[in-house]
Amino acid sequence: IGEVGAQECDPLAAERFSLAQIKQLSRSRRSIRVFKKELLPPGEIEQLVDFTRYAPAGHNNRDLRWLVVNGLEDVNRLSRLVIDWTKSVIQEQPGMAEMFHLDRLVKGWESGMDPICRQAPHLVMIIASKYNPLAQSAATIALSHLEIGAHCAGIGACWAGYLHIAVGSWEPLQKALLLEKNEVVYGAMMLGLPRYQYHRLPPRPQVKLSYL
């Protein structure tokens, strides 16, 4: 971005958050996979995306493009394309299909479920040039910030991993997203109002820590 003068920067608030407060925030975050059907109020997603401007980025590289998909119909259309991809992988790459349990996705879809996007009313994706070596880390950090921001705003979020994997190689999905030449999707996330509220903090295994 270049040099930024002090007069261009907002003053830092005196308030500080303790590690215990941040830990409580992190522990209370949940991956939401059951959403209400209604759309988020206008402007909510824009506020979340704007929040990610403050996420760190390697070499301050922020050459990312956000794509928002609104509405169950359009989200469902993308899920259907991912299912087409899973069927192709099951036939052509059975080892990979077994690793990712793709047969379960097809069975779930055929039974009337959406195991891809979980009937979320919104999807957000980060897109950048495939020649940008810093795009993947910047996108992952930005989406992580968006997920925390969503949690604070009472919005449910969950990483759309199957869609992210599929769009890397499935041309019908790339065309549906109107990707420009040399553009790549570096991450995707479902958003919506959570149908259920959680009242307990799930346990997590201890981290593995060593020193040199």
* DSSP per-residue letters across 170-182: -HHHHHHTTPPTT
- 70, exposed or middle or buried, with CB in 10 Å at 0-12, 13-18, 19+? middle
Q: Which of 53, 67, 44 is nearest to 164 (CA)?
A: 67
- Is the four-CA dihedral 54, 137, 168, 155 of positive or negative sign? negative
pLDDT at 63: 87
Residue 65 reports pLDDT greater than 60: yes
Distances (CA, A) of 89 to 51, 185, 186: 37, 19, 21
Residue 111 reports pLDDT greater than 70: yes
Q: Which secondary-structure segment (H or E) carries 66?
A: strand 65-70
Residue 20 reports pLDDT greater than 60: yes
Summarize the confidence of residues 144-159 as an average pLDDT. Answer: 97
